[in-house]
Each structure stands twice: as structure tokens, then as C-alpha cells.
Structure 1
Amino acid sequence: MDRAAPSERLPPESGLIKVWFRFIPREGWLPYDTEGLWATRLAGDTARVANVPFLQDGVAEGDVVRFITDDSGLHWACERLEASGNCTIRVLPVPDGPLGRSAHAVHEQLAPFGLGGESFTPELPLIAFTVPADADLRLIKTMLTRGQMDGWWHFEESCVTDAWRNA
């Protein structure tokens, strides 16, 4: 089993745990079948996702998940209990496009919308963005679509809401 990130250990007082998600790898994509996301433990076997996923579909920062803990102490997500209303959008700059392979340039284009995101690696400048539920979804979708049409980037909707779909 390949893991997208090592299971770092944090001091208990940090309040964060790593919750692991299993998925079927996509053909022609990264060879991972798990992704670990930081989460704030709520009660017992529930936690609120605290960062944006790069690989796991159907979950967004702020969602509440239920997990089970295996014999080695790893926490494995079982189900999403509560959606945050946030969306997860992934953007990959076109290498020979106007922004080149620059994750920073993508961030600059989307900064006016106040989107928080993380870059995968300099070699793979995939950016995963959290789009807050109260953001101007119509304008963000227009910008993403225009950027794709103009050859700046490709984007995918990893976890979206009805509000996003209807914007």
C-alpha cells in the first residue's frame, strides 16, 4: 500500500490527529491509495478535517468524519458525518501556458477570492484549494473556467456542494 504522506506524530496537546482515507488510485495519476489529512478530534471516533485534500474526493476542509483506529494506532475514515459546506477544487497549471509550472502564480490569480490552498510539490505544482461556503462561487467558477479556456490551468471539482453546482 502506498501512502500519500507519512504519518507524522504530533504532541497530544496539538489537538490534531492524522485521519487516513483509502481510495482506488486513478489510472495514469499518482500511484497512491491512501491520503492522511490532519483533523481536530471532536469526541470519541469523530474529527473535523483541518486541511485540504490533494487526492481524496468527496471531502472538504471542515467536514466531520467518523473513523476507526487500527491496532497500530492509525485512524481510518469510515464515513463523512457532516458536510462543512466548503468545496475542494484542484488546479494544475499548464506547463507551457502563461503561468508556466508556477503554483505561486496560480495562487496570485485566485488570491482576490481569499481562497486557501496548498501545493503538492515543485515537481507537481498541483494546488488544492478550499472554497469557503460563503465565497462568491459564481465569480470563482467563472475565473476557473476562463483560466482553463485560456490555457492557464486545468481544474477539477473534488468535493462540491449544490450551491457550487447552481452558481
Structure 2
Amino acid sequence: MPACYERSTGVGSFVAVPPVRHRIDDGEASLSESMARRGITVRHRVLAITRVEPDRSARFPDCDGGAVEFRFIRYLEDEPWSVGTVALPASLAPLDWDGSTSVFAAMSARHELSIRRSERAFRAGPATPDDAAWLGIAVGSALLELELRGHNADQHGRVIATVAHRIRGDRAEYVVGLPQ
């Protein structure tokens, strides 16, 4: 990637890491698979794996047994990219997920599912103190927020995941192809 320089009055010039372009219409279930296919190293630091109260698991009407939420920090080429939360039906959740692959890759392998993104909605928002600490940015920095309205579905059309990410605005560029 070509180097970019950023100047701040009274601070000086420094090399700025250019944003990484991500196609969300590439047929993959996760940014992790998309980037790995392009040769970009992705890793996850697992923050928490939590069972969700039964009344909150109604988001998966085709699956029984509640839900499990996975909270993690995602790194691209060792740079923090996002703080994420993925909720899955408990019956499909890989409770031993260690972050070495995406949670979707772990689930797909275990249950022979073909998982794809089915909906995404983004908005801008400021970094909270927790976001800033985890992502190495200033409080209030611009983030792209992918809220829990993001869904993934399996090959049968069942919604089997909700996703939410708080993505560094200075590191991400999203691209979507439009039908001709």
C-alpha cells in the first residue's frame, strides 16, 4: 500500500496507514474470509463469549435453544480494525472459538453450513472510551457503526447471525456493486 502522510499543526508529519477497501458484496460471510482471500492477515482477540437471555434470542425464530454472543477485537495486518459482536443461535455457536478464524468459519466447518451476508446497515458514530482503548484511537474519533440490523443467513435462507461492528473510520472503505 502506498504511504500517505498526515500533517498536524504543532505536532508534525507522520505516515498515515491508508484505509483498506472491503467489498461487502463478495459472497463471503465475514470480512475475515474476504481479506484472507486477498492475502491480508486477519486475527481476532476474543473479549467474551456470553449466553444471551432467552427473551433476547427471538431474533433466530428458526433455531431453538437461545443465543450466544461473541465479542472481539478484529485486527488486519496487526492494526486494530474493529470491535465486534456476533450473536448466533446457541445450537450452532462454536463455544470453543479461539479467534484464529472468523466465528462463521468455525460454525460452517462444524455444522456444514454455507453462510452469507444478507443485510448490512452502516452509520457514523464517535468512539467511546472503551472503543478508543481497544482500537488505539482518540475518544470521539470517527467510527463506522454496523448495528445489530446486520444479518447473515445460511443456504436455506434462515437468519443464523446478527452482527454489530464499531469500525475505525480511518481504516475502512466499503464498496458495494450495484445491479446493471
TM bucket (normalised to shorter chain) is 0.3 to 0.5
Whichever of the two has the greater Rg, that structure is 2
TM-score of the aligned structures, taking structure 2 as reference length: 0.31
Higher relative contact order (CA 8 A, sep 6+): 2
TM-score of the aligned structures, taking structure 1 as reference length: 0.33
